[in-house]
Each structure stands twice: as C-alpha cells, then as structure tokens.
Structure 1
C-alpha cells in the first residue's frame, strides 16, 4: 500500500481509500498507530472514529474512509443486513484550482545587456563637466537610471504560486515527514516537556531541510532550462 500511495502521490491526484481494514481505531494499539501514520504520511486522514461494526459483544471502528478530500457531508449508515455499517461521504466535483499570482520582472537578456553597454558608452561624452563632484555624480547616476529603465523594461507575468511537494521532495524528505507524523502521534501519549521540545526542534529542522531541498530543485530547474528567463 505504501508503494501504491507513493506512486499515486507523484501524479497529483486526489485519493479516496475505503474498506474493511480490520484495525480498530478505537483501540490504542501499535497496529492502530502504524496504519494511521501510514495514511497521514500521504496527507490522508480517517473520516470516522465511531463504531462501524457492531455485534452483541463488541463495537469496533474497523471500516473507514481515508482521503485528502474534504467532504461536504459524511454519515454512518446503520440497519443494514450485516453487522458492518456503511459509510457515506458527499463531496463536490470541481476542476482543481491552480492559484496564480502576478509578478513584475526586469528581463536581463544578453542582447539587452549589450544594448545597455552601448547606450552608456554613447552617453559618457555628454556628461556634465561641472567642477562639483556631487553634481557630476548626480548627472551620471540620472543618466545611468534613465538608460537602464529604457533598456530593461519591466514586464508583468502570471505564475503558479505553488510547487507540488512530490516535485521537489527527496527520499530523505519523505522519510523525515513520515518520522515527523509518527512523532506527532506519539506526542499524544508522551506529553512531557523534554519530548515536546524534541518534536518542536525536529519540526524546525524538517522545515529548514524542506526549504533547502526546494531551493536546490528550483535552482537546478533554472540551470538546466533551455529558456532560463521564462523558467525563472
């Protein structure tokens, strides 16, 4: 199941997993922690924590739905011709919304840089010959800014604001995330100051490593691109 989820996550699809897992979520057991941690490592949460199999001697929560979709409605269906209850979830189907934002850049291509150099050279003879150094500097600075702004004209482009986790996350990042989820689950039981500090520090280190991994991924993507300006 872990291998299947890993493959599906790389496709950026929504996931809904349901069935009789034979693991009672109402028990505080190692097997219960293991299955919850597995699903959480892929951002899948169980939707029910109520008895889904009821017999004259027991009431267990072994049937469930694990998903990364937020349902608009969920309910347990009783009175079936079985000692298992049914689970029903309702959710709206819609196209995945890709959030975009506009940014302003100054494209600095090789051609524009050469044009800028030529403009500077052609304008140098016409600079102020005033004896005051401040006046000379101001004249040069104004000329430089005018030529820069007229050569590197700002351009507004629309870009995606998010990069998928599966695109830049390394194997180590995936393992660290799994470990972090396990620590969060353990924190419910082991609630000591020392352990809480350890989890907090591990979380900070994980976020730092994520930032480095994403930075390296984007740098490599830009470096290996055939159109560096557009990729940037």
Structure 2
C-alpha cells in the first residue's frame, strides 16, 4: 500500500475530525461520491447532520491541487490515495488512518477497486494489508467500494469473504447499496472485527450519487471526560478599580529621583507589575471542551438535507415525470441555498471582525486548505557562527543600535565638513502630562496582550495614575539621547521558542514615547 502522486483523478480520500462529537461514540461515513468538487457543501451538511467523526470518500475525481483547495468545516485531510504508477491503479487503491478513540486503537481503511480492475491483484493486496493490520492488535474498520457484488454467488465473492474471515472480519451491510432502473447490487460495504451488538449501521441514499452512504456507529461505555485546565486572569470592573486605586496611591519618588533611563524604567516596571499581579492574579480553571459546531449549517438546512434523502429514496421507485422534475428543481434550489448560506456566514464573520483584513486572510486559508508553517529562524554573526536562540534578540538589538558606530569605523579617515554658522537652532522641548495622555488616548482599546498579560485597554484606564513617571522616563530618555534608542528597540524583540514576541506594557509605553517624540518634530518641521 504505497502513497504516491498522480496527474490523473485519484479515487479515495479519508478525512477525520480532531475530536469526536460524543465521547463514547465514533461515527464513520463511507460514500462513493462520484465527483466531490460540485458536491462538497452538500456532503458537509450531511456529515454535520449525522454528527460524523470520520469521513471516507471514494471516486472524488479531484487532482491534488483541486483536492487541497476543498475544505470541509470541522474536518482535516488525514490521508489520500496518490498514484505514481499504473501497476495497481484500478486494481487496488487504499488509504488508512489510525485513531485512538473509545480507549482503543482503531484502524480505519478505505478501499476502491474499479469494475475493470484485476480481481487477483485486488485479493492479494487486500490479504497483505489485512495481515499487517491484524498484527497491530487493533480494532479494524474496512469500508469502501469493492465492486464485488455480495448479492450474487461467485468465486471472487467467496475468496474475498474467506480472506476477511481469516482476519475475523465480517460485513455489516446486507441490503443493496447501488440501485438503478434495471439492477440492484451490494458493492459498497463496511467490514470490521467488532461484534455486531456493539455497532449500528445505516444504508441510506443521500442524493449525492447513485451509491448509498454507509454509516458505522461504534459505541463504548460512557466515560467521564477529562477536564482541561488553563490559567486565566479576570479583568473585572472591581479588579480594574482596585488596580487603578493602588497605582493612584503609589509613590513614584524613587522613579523620579533616577538620572539613568534604564534604572528609572526598571523601578517603574517592577512597581507596576507588582500591583498588576496583586489585582489580576492567575487562576487555574477547569473546563470541558465542547465540540466545534458549523455556524452556517442552520436547522432549516438540516431539515432540507433530510428532505433530500427522502426524495432520493422515493425517486428510486417513482418514475412519474412531474415528480422527477420536482426533485431536480428541489435539488438545484437546495444547492443554491447552502452556497448562499455559507457565503452569508463568511460575510458576517468578516463584518463583525475587529481586524477585517486578518479575518479575510484567515478565511481564505481555511477555505483553500492553506496552513501557516512556522519557519525556523537562523542567524549568524560576523564570524559566521550560529547565534543561540536565547541570545538572538539581544544580538538584533545591538546590531541596529550600533549601526552608526559600525559604519563610521570603516572609514580610514573621518571626513570633515565645514558648515556655515547657523543663527537659529532647534531643540527638543521636554514633554508634559497633557501630551502623553493625548498619545495614550489614541491607542486602540484592545484586550490583546503579550508575555506579561497586560492588555492595552488596561493601560488606557490607568493612564492618569502612571502619567507622571512616564513623563519623567520620556524626558530622561530625550536628555540622555542614546538610551532612548535602546529603550524603544528593546520593546520589539523578545525571543521565545521560534517566535519573536514583545511585552505589552513595554511596547505601549514605548509607543507613547515614540509617538510623542514624532509629534513634537512634526510640529517643528
């Protein structure tokens, strides 16, 4: 069973959700859909309505590039058949995934065999695959379109069932799965080594192809879900008022007495964070994770999906021309409705988002199946020696701060420039509390935060209480000069793992100083 790539249409794919809808159930759907591109929204509604956890699709007729652009909400592509060679193409196409669910190790495999495929090759590969699975001591669930009619006696049918029996696997479907005007056949099925009393199966035409959709529901003894734990701060009105009162009564004389920017800031930050931790302590919360739900699939759409199943079932026996036209019209309208519903849902999410551009790109990635890959950051110093991750932030800071000195050291002779005496001069006047409060007011009031968990909105609320030490630090930075650059640069680089992060309250206060400084020079120029 090889995983390959092909320019031709692939035959089988398997999707699996990250979490089951019910903790004591695993629901699997198998369907020969005969072209997925124009039916994936209907398939999504059907899977959502039946609370499907694992979806196996045969004959999707999609190339690799097309398949990657199809997205089913709540599902991720776990495995797909890709064929490089035509040796076993049509004869045996299979994919498999391994799940850990219901306190069991479960292998779910999907197989497709073309009607013109070589049965000997199919039987040989099926036997080899099942022998491998049997050695894993797992629950095995095998589904697919085998194109071996189990309603008709034949040597191929007997050999196939004998192979399955040797692995203690038996069929769960006994009724026809494909019905046409002239014939009925049982070519799709679900086999497993699970006792029939532990499973429930359905065999229903959902109107997506001339094959029925097969569902397999494996149940287990209900188990108590493990609660997830997470540390969280509560920014309630009461806590915010307490934080504000503490800062209001704080004594900043030690900060105001400092003549060094870094010392003044370190004392200020220490006092600020002490009161912050006191008023907004982290609390350990336990909660149960609830399965995600499709927001755009409304109860009305689910009801229409059930109606489609009933109409498709009735169409098998009723050939009245008016009824046939009615079913076609209903199906066409149904497809338009679900397409419009998803469009309106996406439009609503974009309109309600605070950052519309970010939400738009997030939605594009989701719909096209795109995934953001974290890139490893590697930096080398001048001696071509790799820099350690924990020292990378300081190296970047020092590099930018020392650019003037580095460039000047490369000149063999320092150039001298004679300029005429300027009668007028320009200087930076110290900032004041009014200007700093004006800058803070312009910040966006968001609950986003960095490593220290301090949201921007909290800083806006307590601004009058800390404006005095901020003004002193700003003026101290301007008077010394070089510390201002160090102070602003240090806010943007804090390396953690593979990502550059920043500390929110440092960034906000830096933005305050930087914006105040820029506003001053804009007025002068």
Shared fold, TM over 0.5: no
For the aligned pair, the TM-score class normalised by the smaller chain equals 0.3 to 0.5
The structure carrying a bigger helix percent of its residues is: 1
- TM-score normalised by the chain length of structure 2: 0.21
Which gives a bigger RCO, structure 1 or 2 (Cα 8 Å, sep 6+)? 1
